[in-house]
Amino acid sequence: DGGITQSPKYLFRKEGQNVTLSCEQNLNHDAMYWYRQDPGQGLRLIYYSQIVNDFQKGDIAEGYSVSREKKESFPLTVTSAQKNPTAFYLCASSGWTGDTEAFFGQGTRLTVV
């Protein structure tokens, strides 16, 4: 069953701890993206990667880090430097160019207490 999978669906962490969100796809897509979704803010791009071992900052990269060691995987680490990390995080993948359909994961809701 092809698709893009995020885990876990819900995540709770204490303030000051780093946390890593998983994103895996078996669609053979070159490009992968991380978005943050807050009420009334739409989809804000955190990081994106169009090829293995390369990634670019999005509009709100501060306090986040990523890696792209494998084509299938694009994990996102929310560091303690992120001032307001509680949010809904969506991962997506698409073909290499920006003009193809993006497929989204089911999302991870992160709550930092």
| Distance, CA of 41 to CA of 7 (rounded, Å) | 23
Q: Which is nearer to another protein, 61 or 80 (CB)?
A: 61
Which of 35, 55, 64, 74 is the binder for another protein (CB under 8 A)? 35
Which of 93, 105, 108, 112 is the binder for another protein (CB under 8 A)? 105
| Distance, CA of 50 to CA of 92 (rounded, Å) | 12
Q: Which is nearer to another protein, 16 or 39 (CB)?
A: 39
Comparing C-alpha atoms, which of 18, 12, 13, 24 is closest to residue 73?
Answer: 24
| Distance, CA of 27 to CA of 24 (rounded, Å) | 9
Comparing C-alpha atoms, which of 48, 9, 42 is closest to residue 29?
Answer: 48
82 binds another protein (CB under 8 A): no
43 binds another protein (CB under 8 A): yes
Binding site for another protein (CB under 8 A): 31, 33, 35, 40-43, 45, 48, 50, 56, 58, 90, 94, 96-99, 101-102, 104-107
